[in-house]
């Protein structure tokens, strides 16, 4: 079953859908060790720990083309290859389960329905990288997921699948669950590492990159939940089998969270490069006439209906449409929705979640939020749409330590550009709209 109780579709155009990640999502008690093992859980362990060298695992994952599923899409095997080997410092593996992107709920589904697949993936990854201690950084509000994860880890320890000499091998691994404090910025890997160490959850300047100096000043790999859960399947079936889905640059399958004006919202695993309109059919169809679609979480530039109809669900196609796959959170909206109100909600979120470390992000997101609120409240003025886009244009380039600023700017820029008539309609409602906004304090082109 999907997250909201709808059955996961088994076929797409007569073809079986991949079950790399979701094989136990609709299996009763699939989160328990006994049921998971009956469906093949931990079968990869003996092949990895006894039959393969670490470099062979890294090369297999690199050949598979697996890309990070948290949003950035960086090649996973390449990321692993950056970790120095044979140094005096320990190597740490940190799983990013701080799922905070609005519209995204795939990782919490994984933690609830199949936590043992994550643990198995961590064992394989840890062995490949020489890790002895690993952490799972979970968003603090996700209490049911934290409980399910802790229970699964205990089961794995009791069964000899974690701790010293796993499954009779010479490899040992300890896993700890770290509960975050609910800050969206901790989804950024260096902000996450700071929080893990007990500091304020704010991003760090790079370089050095975490692979060289991350948690506790030691080499660290930070990967998303979904990314690591794909590793056991790849090591069992091979890189070539994983590439049967998707494209050359976007291979494999992916979990997509879909909500909004769709008949059957939920979490679905489908091949990358599936057309958006066909995916909507798989999810029961759209409700109402499509106006636009947020294709990859709230920070992804919005697509118009026409753009959505021409785009497929992969990195290259969305890049060509000047948007991004992001976390895979899809939110289609119909013609009864107001794009201005959608942007107002997004802008309020980013203004609230800015960590405040960088002036462009801290002040810019707050100012955009206030101007949009003024516009929606009936106090819009001529030039407001251009003004908020101008503000976003100035924190969209990398003027900040992390990518939060650009991520907050992209929805502003795209909504204003593609749905400008809706903003103009709000401005026209104000009888004093011809009065220009006072730009003495902050004016376009001289924001700082």
Task: Please report the DSSP string for 408-439 in residue order.
Answer: HHHHHHHHHHHTHHHHHHHHHTSTTTTSPP--
Task: Please report the DSSP string for 44-113 in residue order.
Answer: HHHHHHHH--HHHHHHHHHHHT-B-TTTT--BHHHHHHTS-SS-SS-EEEEEEE---STT--HHHHHHHH
Q: What's the topology of domain 253-334?
A: Ubiquitin-like (UB roll) (3.10.20)
Q: Does residue 436 surpass a pLDDT of 70?
A: no
Worst-scoring range by mean pLDDT, 63-72, 187-196, 288-297, 344-353? Answer: 63-72
Cα end-to-end span (Å), the chain: 50
Q: Does residue 5 surpass a pLDDT of 50?
A: no
Q: Supply the mean pLDDT for the chain.
A: 91
Instruction: Report the alpha-carbon distance of residue 81 to residue 58 in Å, rounded.
Output: 7
Q: Which pLDDT score, from 0 to 100, does residue 438 have? A: 56
Q: Does residue 398 surpass a pLDDT of 90?
A: no
Q: How confident is the model at residue 12 (pLDDT cuts 50, 70, 90)?
A: low
Q: Does residue 42 surpass a pLDDT of 60?
A: yes
Overall pTM surpassing 0.75 (yes/no) = yes
Q: Which pLDDT score, from 0 to 100, does residue 440 have? A: 38
Q: How confident is the model at residue 443 (pLDDT cuts 50, 70, 90)?
A: very low
Can you give the residue ranges of every domain in the chain?
A: 19-242, 253-334, 339-428
CATH of 339-428, one of 3.50.40.10, 3.30.70.240, 3.40.50.1110, 1.20.1440.230: 1.20.1440.230
Q: Does residue 18 surpass a pLDDT of 90?
A: no
The mean pLDDT value for 130-141 works out to 95
pLDDT tens per residue across span 226-235: 999 999 999 9
Q: How confident is the model at residue 185 (pLDDT cuts 50, 70, 90)?
A: very high
Q: How confident is the model at residue 109 (pLDDT cuts 50, 70, 90)?
A: very high
Number of CB atoms found within 10 A of residue 322's CB:
12
- The residue behind tokens 């974690």 is 162
- Whether 339-428 and 253-334 are alike in CATH topology: the answer is no
Q: How confident is the model at residue 11 (pLDDT cuts 50, 70, 90)?
A: low
Q: Does residue 439 surpass a pLDDT of 80?
A: no
Q: Does residue 189 surpass a pLDDT of 50?
A: yes
Q: How confident is the model at residue 397 (pLDDT cuts 50, 70, 90)?
A: confident
CB 313 within 8 A of CB 279: yes
Q: Does residue 98 surpass a pLDDT of 60?
A: yes
Q: Does residue 444 surpass a pLDDT of 90?
A: no
CATH of 19-242, one of 3.40.50.11540, 3.30.1360.170, 2.60.40.10, 3.90.50.10: 3.40.50.11540
């Amino acid at each position: 079953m999907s997250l909201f109780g709808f059955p996961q579709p088994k076929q797409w155009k007569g073809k079986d859908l991949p079950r790399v990640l979701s094989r136990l999502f609709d299996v009763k008690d699939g989160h328990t060790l006994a049921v998971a093992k009956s469906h093949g859980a931990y079968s990869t362990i003996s092949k990895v720990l006894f039959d393969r060298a670490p470099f062979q695992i890294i090369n297999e994952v690199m050949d598979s083309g697996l890309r990070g599923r948290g949003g950035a899409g960086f090649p996973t095997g390449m990321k692993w290859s950056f970790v120095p080997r044979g140094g005096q410092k320990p190597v740490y593996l940190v799983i990013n389960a701080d799922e905070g992107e609005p519209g995204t709920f795939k990782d919490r589904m994984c933690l609830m329905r199949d936590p043992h697949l994550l643990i198995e993936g961590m064992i394989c990854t840890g062995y490949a990288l020489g890790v002895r201690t690993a952490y799972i950084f979970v968003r603090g509000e996700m209490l049911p997921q934290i409980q399910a994860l802790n229970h699964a880890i205990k089961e794995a320890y009791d069964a000899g699948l974690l701790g010293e000499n796993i499954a009779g091998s010479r490899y040992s691994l300890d896993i700890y669950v770290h509960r975050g404090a609910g800050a969206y910025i901790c989804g950024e890997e260096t902000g996450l590492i700071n929080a893990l160490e007990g500091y304020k959850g704010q991003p760090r300047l790079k370089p050095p990159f975490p692979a060289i100096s991350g948690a506790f000043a030691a080499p660290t790999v930070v990967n998303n939940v979904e990314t690591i859960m794909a590793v056991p399947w790849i090591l069992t079936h091979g890189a070539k089998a994983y590439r049967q889905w998707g494209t050359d640059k976007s291979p494999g399958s992916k979990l997509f969270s879909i909500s909004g004006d769709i008949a059957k919202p939920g979490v679905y695993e489908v091949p990358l490069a599936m057309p958006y309109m066909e995916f909507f059919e798989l999810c029961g169809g759209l409700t109402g006439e499509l106006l636009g679609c947020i294709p990859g979480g709230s920070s992804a530039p919005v697509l118009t209906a026409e753009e959505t109809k021409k785009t497929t669900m992969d990195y290259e196609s969305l890049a060509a449409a000047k948007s991004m796959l992001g976390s895979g959170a899809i939110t289609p909206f119909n013609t009864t929705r107001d794009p201005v109100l959608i942007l107002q909600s997004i802008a309020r979120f980013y203004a609230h979640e800015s960590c405040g470390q960088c002036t462009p992000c801290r002040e810019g997101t707050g100012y955009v939020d206030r101007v949009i609120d003024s516009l929606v409240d009936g106090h819009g003025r001529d030039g407001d749409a251009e003004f908020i886009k101008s503000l976003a244009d100035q924190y969209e380039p990398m003027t900040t330590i992390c990518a939060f600023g650009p991520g907050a700017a992209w929805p502003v820029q795209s909504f204003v550009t593609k749905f400008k008539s809706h903003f103009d309609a709000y401005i026209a409602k104000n009888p004093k709209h011809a009065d220009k906004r006072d730009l003495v304090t902050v004016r376009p082109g001289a924001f700082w």
